[in-house]
Amino acid sequence: MSNLKKQALTEHLAELRQCLVAIIIAVIIGFAGAYYFIDDIGRWFLAPLYNVLPKGSSIIFTSYQEAFFFI
């Protein structure tokens, strides 16, 4: 604890801003990567359901927002 240096409030805010910018960039990159692989992720996520569905049947969405989970 003794190796911590004292900082002014503006220095703390500058460091906080740098951390928040890095986090936002990481989240954007993560969303972009997930959106690029959305079909693969959707197939992987729904594979157990497709395995137990009878032949010739399909998944039916019962509300409008359900279809937007897997584009």
Percent of the chain with pLDDT over 70: 89
Q: Is residue 14 part of a domain?
A: yes
| DSSP labels, 22-67 | HHHHHHHHHHHHHHHTHHHHHHHHHHHHHHHSPTT-----SSGGGG
Q: How far is CA 10 from each of CA 13, 14, 15, 21, 49, rounded to the nearest angstrom?
A: 5, 6, 9, 16, 53
Q: Is residue 13 part of a domain?
A: yes
For the chain, the domain total comes to 1
Question: Quick one: average pLDDT of 21-32?
Answer: 97
pTM of the complete model: 0.61
CA distance 11 to 46: 48
Q: Is residue 60 part of a domain?
A: yes
Closest by Cα among 64, 65, 70 to 34 = 70
Q: Is residue 3 part of a domain?
A: no
Question: Quick one: average pLDDT of 18-40?
Answer: 94
Q: Is residue 1 part of a domain?
A: no
Full domain range(s) for residue 20: 9-69
